[in-house]
Structure 1
Amino acid sequence: MAAIAQDEDWTTRFTGLSRLEPRIREVLTSRSQVIRVPADTVIFGPGKSPENMLLLLEGTVRVQQLAENGREVVLYRVTAGESCVLTTACMLAYEDYSAEGVAETDIVAAAVPRAVFDDLVSTSKEFRTFVFTAYSRRMTDLFHVIEDIAFRRMDIRLAQKIIERADTGVLKATHAQLAAELGTAREVISRQLAEFQRRGWVTLGRGTVEILDCDALRKLSES
């Protein structure tokens, strides 16, 4: 991770931090470091203790967990203007990570050292509110992920994922990657995509899914 010059007040990019009193904001910015991390870097993993709270300024981080059967499950993504709830939980509980965070793109983030995090959580009501608001919001998202995996039909969830992630009508992802996104086996995704292709809704390429009938996919996703 290579540090870059801090040429702006990055706290303005985060709802809640921009409302910190100037003294607290100065502590946060002066004792933190803005870093760059290249795509595909494993930022944290199971058994490691968090040293910093990362506040994402640019890019996307994918947080995923390896199940007991060896299958990867994507828990959530952290995007610009957000923090990682798993890192927050581990820092608050002084525990090691139980999942993996991977830079899905090149990222720029503000790294807030544990000592600064601990100090501000205990002394600043505004910073504490920022931390727990983000935490509660992401926990709600995780409950939705659990609900989807446990109760929703795979064809509906796959249609939703294709529409959500397709860029200009084409989703660039392997069947294994989609399986990790949806918490299922690659074979299940392959069978469902083959059915979508048979119906004329998509056409499959090497690592791509091209949408041919967006209305049909959207209708299924909303059923």
Structure 2
Amino acid sequence: MKTKFQWRLTSASSTLSEAAETKTARLAALYPVLAKLPAALLRRIGDAAQTLSLPAGATVFDERQPCRGFPFVLDGAIRVAKLSAGGRELPLYRVVAGESCIITSSCLLGHADYNARGVTEGPTTLALLPRELFDEMLGEPAFRDFVFALFSERMAELMQLVEEVAFRKLDQRLASLLLGKGRVVHATHQQLADELGSVREMVSRLLKGFAEQGLVKLGREQVEVLDPSGLRKVASVT
């Protein structure tokens, strides 16, 4: 069962404490762009950043929820997905340490609510900056370039996802997904369906067909790839 995300406020002081210095150093190591900011602003970031420790499966943000700040991922990963009215998920992208979430950035820039869901893939630690500080940081060219460079990278990924969903059949996409996970894929049919934005029944039917063709061997919560060249042919059929 997913744990609802709750903000944990941390105390701030007018001067940089030892804990704040450690936090700032860790942030700067993962996000080198912060070292390009004015020293006074960097000290304020160390003071104001709220450290959040979340378990696996925690909902970091959800659709129609207001955005409360700009997150830096220190450890772990966040899986961002779009949900349909029927409860199906279409994975959009992952955010790991050193990266940030463009949906959060767009919500802050547009003063809008979230239009997707973010869930931790494992134990995850975030440093959350308040909206007001994010707005001030955007006034610095280095940080502004960092944010919009992420927009550019993510948009390219999302356009590729749109192309995959719109122009490739599900069997092609499933074959490509299996080929990209090694010889033995440790995942349930539901997890594979979630990654493809499909439903378990359709993925199970396709996997059964792959197995009958000798392309894969199905086991408990795993799929063993027996014929990679055969799967590549399925993936490349136009």
Please indicate the TM-score interval, normalised by the length of the shorter structure: 0.7 to 0.9
1:132-182: CA deviation from partner (whole Å, max 9, x where unpaired) = 11122112211111111010122221122123334xx33222222222211
Matched AA of 1:39: A
CA separation of 1:220 and 1:20: change in aligned 2, threshold 3 A: farther
What are the Cα deviations for residues 48-79 of structure 1, in whole angstroms up to 9, with x where unaligned? 11112111122121111211343221111112
- Matched with 1:184 is 198
Once the two structures are superposed, the pairs formed by residues 7-156 of structure 1 within 5 Å of their partners are: 7=22, 8-121=25-138, 123-156=139-172
Counterpart-to-counterpart distance in 2, 1:155 and 1:17: 44
Aligned residues: 220
The alignment status of 1:195 with 2:209, answered yes or no, reads: yes
Return the alpha-carbon distance in structure 1 between the equivalents of residues 225 and 37 of structure 2.
45
CA contact (8 A) 1:179 1:185 kept: yes
- Does the CA-based 8 Å contact 1:43-1:103 persist in structure 2? yes
- Alignment match, 1:171: 185
1:3 shift after superposition:
8.0
Mapped to 2, the partners of 1:47 and 1:30 lie a distance apart of: 29
Q: Is the contact made by 1:62 and 1:76 (CA closer than 8 Å) also made in structure 2?
A: yes
Q: Which whole-Å CA distance do the structure 1 matches of 2:27 and 2:38 have between them?
A: 15
Larger radius of gyration: 2
Letter in 2 for 1:136: S
Q: Which whole-Å CA distance do the structure 2 matches of 1:52 and 1:40 have between them?
A: 20
Residues 109/164 of structure 1: CA separation in 2 closer, same or farther (3 Å cut): farther
Alignment identity in percent? 38
How far did residue 213 of structure 1 move?
Answer: 2.9
Q: Which string of whole-angstrom CA distances, capped at 9 and with x for unpartnered residues, describes residues 193-220 of structure 1?
A: 1122122222212322222333433454
Q: Give, in angstroms, the shift of residue 222 of structure 1.
A: 5.2
- For the 8 Å contact 1:66–1:72, the answer to whether it is kept is yes
Aligned-partner Cα distance in 2 for 1:214–1:26: 53
- Shift in alpha-carbon separation, 1:3–1:172, aligned structure 2, 3 A: farther
Counterparts in 2 of 1:197-212, with a 5 A limit? 197-212=211-226
| C-alpha distance in 2 between matches for 1:15 and 1:194 | 47
Q: Verify the 8 A CA contact 1:24 1:124 in the aligned structure 2.
A: no
211-220 or 25-34: bigger deviation = 211-220
SS at 1:112 equivalent:
strand
Take 2:76 and 2:231, find their aligned partners in 1: how far apart are those partners? 28
Q: 1:14 to 1:165 in 2, by over 3 A?
A: farther
Aligned AA (1:147): E
Can you give the 5+ residue segments of structure 1 that lack an aligned partner in the other structure?
Answer: none
The alignment's TM-score, normalised by the length of structure 1, stands at: 0.87
Runs of 4 or more above 4 Å deviation: 1-6
Change (3 A) 1:158 1:3: farther
